[in-house]
Structure formats: C-alpha cells, structure tokens
Amino acid sequence: MFELIVIVMAVLALWLVGSLIGLAFKLTFAVVGGVLGAMGALFGLLFGGLALLIAAPLVLLALLPALLPMLLLAALVWLVVRASRSTPQPTRTAH
C-alpha cells in the first residue's frame, strides 16, 4: 500500500510540474502574442490611414459626376439665402 501511495504522489508531482511548465509557456506565448498583436494593429492603422489618404481623393474624384448636381443645388440655395439676408445695422453702445 505504501508503494502505491509513493507512485501516486510521484505521478501527481510530475503532473503538477508539467502543469506549471505548461502555464509558463502559455503565459510567455500570451505576452509575446499580445505584444505582436498590438504592433500589428498599430501597423495596420498606419498603413490603413496611408491607404485612406491615397484612396479618398481618388474616390471623391470618381464620385464627382454623380455628386455635381447636388453640389450645384446646394450652392444655389446658399447664394439665395445669402442674397436674401439684409446687412445688419451696427448697434450703438452707450458710453
């Protein structure tokens, strides 16, 4: 019976050591993966922003024929509203 207890304790000790080694590997790879993931996200934001700076003017130029009537209508409304306003009279302050 004593031998069985020693064997079970040895197996459980090896199991515990293996679990601790696995925990150390898991924590190490989690930290390394988190750092690499954060760096990848920053690079993605950088390159995505650069791509947006390049692509946005091209998209706006491509959409200009479709948006031109609406822009002209908005300019006409702005001109009518601006022309219909009277110039404000300067207020006199009492000194």
Predicted confidence (pLDDT) per residue in 51-90, tens digit: 999 999 999 999 999 999 999 999 999 999 998 887 777 7
Residue 13: C-alpha distances to residues 6, 21, 26, 49, 54 (Å): 10, 12, 20, 53, 61
pLDDT of residue 95: 67
pTM of the model: 0.49
pLDDT digit string, tens, across residues 5-56: 999 999 999 999 999 999 999 999 999 999 999 999 999 999 999 999 999 9
Residue 55: C-alpha distances to residues 44, 47, 68, 91 (Å): 16, 12, 20, 50
